[in-house]
Amino acid sequence: MIAVIGDPETAAGFRLAGVKEVHEYPYPPDGGEDVARMLDKLAKDGFAIIIITERFAAEARNRDKIREINAEKKGVMPIIVEVPDKKGPMEKEIDEIGRLIKRAVGVAVK
């Protein structure tokens, strides 16, 4: 099962693509608390893939929640994928996908 968290434009695009579990929030989010709670709920509800826009994921509270979910998971699920929004990709200090690959494989993949 796939779930999406994003701004209205991103949410509309994923709905058109057929994703049923889409959660839309205005940007900028109000402190990120609602998004962090939704991330936690989706992870506990057993979603295999959670797609979130980079700008929502970059909020401090959401970044902490993503790291917490990744640290607590026993297998590979849920996979949390960060996608660019209509403003384009963001510059990242830390590559979260690279971090997950290093944790799973044991070596950094460049």
Whole-angstrom Cα distance, residue 86 to residue 70?
A: 26
What is the residue-level pLDDT of the chain in tens, covering all 110 positions? 999 999 999 999 999 999 999 999 987 766 557 899 999 999 999 999 999 999 898 888 888 999 999 888 888 889 999 998 887 776 666 666 676 667 667 776 66
Residue 83's beta-bridge partner residues? Answer: 53
- CATH number for the domain spanning 13: value is 3.40.50.10580
Q: Is the peptide bond before 8 cis (omega within 30 degrees of 0)?
A: no
Nearest to 63 by CA among 90, 103, 87: 90
State pTM to two decimals.
0.79
Domain that holds residue 73: 2-105
Report yes or no on 74 lying in a domain: yes
- Assess if residue 110 is contained within a domain: no
Token reading at 65: 């929640």
For 7-72, list the strands marked E by DSSP: 21-24, 49-53
Can you give the C-alpha Rg of the chain in angstroms? 14
